[in-house]
Amino acid sequence: MPESKPQNCTITLDGQNYEFPVIVGTEGEKAIDISKLRDTTGYVTLDVGYKNTGATKSKITFLDGELGILRHRGYSIEDLAEKANFLEVAYLLLKGELPNKEEFESFDADIRHHTLVNEDLQNIFKTFPTGSHPMGQLIAMISSLSAYYPKALDPNRSQEAKNRTTLRLLAKMPTICAMIYKKSLGHPVVYPSNNLDYVSNFLTMTFKHVSDHEYQPDPVVVDAMNKLLILHADHEQNCSASTVRLVGSSQANLYATTAAGIAALWGPLHGGANQEVLEMLNAIKADGGNVQKWVDKAKDKNDSFRLMGFGHRVYKNFDPRAKIIKKACDDVLNKLGINDPVLEIAKKLEEAALTDPYFIERKLYPNVDFYSGIIYRSIGFPTEMFTALFALGRLPGWIAQWQEMIGEGQPIGRPRQIYTGQTPRSFVNRGDRS
Ligand code: CMC
């Protein structure tokens, strides 16, 4: 790796010059290290929504929003989606290298060993009303694992304990997601079959009926699901990963920290967009399929409606994940022989938005969530499960971000603010207030 020459940045405040180091990443991105700014000058920086703030250095994921590049540990997302399976990518994110044959077999076997969840966990479902959103249930279920594994409450106990918690989370997440789906139907849960690979096991727990001895997940679906999970596996310092780092920085346990990440993901501006995209496409279809009317609605500043699945905080050219997923979407629908009218609406919407100056000027392109829902739907998942599937994919990324943060002993996250409220004033007794 080329050694970068140390640089400084001079900031002039109140007529005085201050020097701050410039940090250069391995891909050449530059940052001004202002961690001593307040101590030396009394100033803080203000950056609402962290649009311009590097909250950490990280070795996990590189992303260039202008060029549409996404790499995990140096490997392109295109190669990973094409050539790896989800567990290999999870291993890569967590350990920094792709596993060799023995390492993969051992990791896979360890995960298979932990797929069962405590039977008592099923009691939690009894407390949820019918129709509860899967994400609300997932947050509760993942958080409740901390009650079953109290030794994990101390995140710094030992490397071995951290590894075990990581394996448990990775292994139990598909079981819990499938349980949530089964419970939503009122069906008995299907227990894990540890002779199956990670994705086939998840699909079997989700779609097999307990009495069905014939169920075999379709290899086309297994492949598509692997790709979808890989494309969601990490995305550097996004809203949920930053939440995981922030919550984890207080030394909260990994189960609670992951539950916080899931909560952040649920929002429609983040992972919740995949559900919203499908609901939007269904609404356009039910409304007669007039795509232009909805594009106009999205452009109208007096209307809060946004085209879900369009735009991204960092990708301002194209989302590389969307490119891969668009092709996977076509492949799956072709191979499964599905002719989905919603896909036609999606294509028209994409075309209208990509040629409209409003979207071109603002660099609003279809993102990963625009196509993922169409694949999930063709596989048979109800829209309400979509964001839980995103969480299943993102889990190794969250854990990798947490491990890196804990491993480096990063301090508790605690931003500053600029107070804009009332200055000191005298208390007035209740009876004397106007
Ligand atoms: N439809 C219509 N207008 C939009 C949209 C949209 N989807 N997204 C952004 N804009 C407009 C926005 O109104 C603003 O216009 P103006 O400059 O005239 O005020 C301009 O584009 C910039 O938007 P912004 O809100 O400042 O951009 P942001 O970087 O803060 O937000 C975003 C990024 C993803 C939250 C936003 O594009 C959005 O709400 N998209 C729809 C939700 C969505 O698909 N989210 C999934 C993101 S990908 C999955 C993930 O990684 O989480």
d(CA 170, CA 176): 11
First-residue to last-residue Cα distance in the chain: 68
Do residues 84 and 230 make contact, with C-beta atoms less than 8 angstroms apart? yes
Identity of the residue numbered 34: I
**Which protein residue's CA is at the shortest distance from atom 50 of ligand 1?**
270
| Residue to mutate, 50, 236, 302, 306, ligand 1, most ligand atoms under 8 Å from C-beta | 306
DSSP conformation class of 131: T
Catalytic (active site) residue 369? yes
State which H helix or E strand residue 112 sits in. helix 101-113
The CATH T-level fold of domain 273-379 is Cytochrome p450-Terp; domain 2 (1.10.230)
What is the predicted pLDDT for the residue at 3? 53
**Which protein residue's CA is at the shortest distance from atom 14 of ligand 1?**
362
Do residues 402 and 248 make contact, with C-beta atoms less than 8 angstroms apart? yes
Pairing of strands 61-64, 30-32: unpaired
Give me 274's structure tokens.
């995949």
Pocket of ligand 1 contains residue 258 by CB under 6 Å: no
**Which protein residue's CA is at the shortest distance from atom 52 of ligand 1?**
270
d(CA 93, CA 227): 15
d(CA 342, CA 370): 12
Torsion over CA: 57, 58, 63, 69 (sign):
positive
Do residues 104 and 87 make contact, with C-beta atoms less than 8 angstroms apart? yes
Query: 434 CA to middle of ligand 1, Å?
Result: 43
Question: Of 133, 232, 234, 369, which is the active-site residue?
Answer: 369
CA angle 273, 54, 272 (to 5 degrees): 10
Pocket of ligand 1 contains residue 116 by CB under 6 Å: no
- Exposure string for 154-184, b = 16+ CB within 10 A, e = fewer: ebeeeeebbebbbbbbbbbbbbbbbbbbbbb
Pocket of ligand 1 contains residue 367 by CB under 6 Å: yes
Question: Of 72, 235, 270, 312, which is the active-site residue?
Answer: 312
C-alpha 283, offset from chain centre: 25
Give me 332's structure tokens.
């799956």
Q: Helix (H) and strand (E) counts for the chain?
A: 18, 6
DSSP conformation class of 310: B
Structurally, at CATH architecture level, domain 82-264 sits in Orthogonal Bundle (1.10)
Do residues 249 and 413 make contact, with C-beta atoms less than 8 angstroms apart? yes
Query: 415 CA to middle of ligand 1, Å?
Result: 24
d(CA 254, CA 170): 12
Which residue, 209, 203, 217, is CA-closest to 186? 209
Query: 226 CA to middle of ligand 1, Å?
Result: 28
- Hey, where are the domains in the chain? 7-69, 82-264, 273-379
Do residues 317 and 363 make contact, with C-beta atoms less than 8 angstroms apart? yes
- What tens-digit pLDDT sequence spans the chain (434 residues)? 555 567 899 999 999 999 999 999 999 999 999 999 999 999 999 999 999 999 999 999 999 999 999 999 999 999 999 999 999 999 999 999 999 999 999 999 999 999 999 999 989 988 899 889 999 999 999 999 999 999 888 888 888 999 999 999 999 999 999 999 999 999 999 999 999 999 999 999 999 998 888 899 999 899 999 999 999 999 999 999 999 999 999 999 999 999 999 999 999 999 999 999 999 999 999 999 999 999 999 999 999 999 999 999 899 888 899 989 988 888 888 888 888 888 889 889 989 988 999 999 999 988 888 889 889 998 999 999 999 999 999 999 999 999 999 999 999 999 999 999 999 999 999 999 99
Domain 7-69 in this protein, CATH class = mainly beta
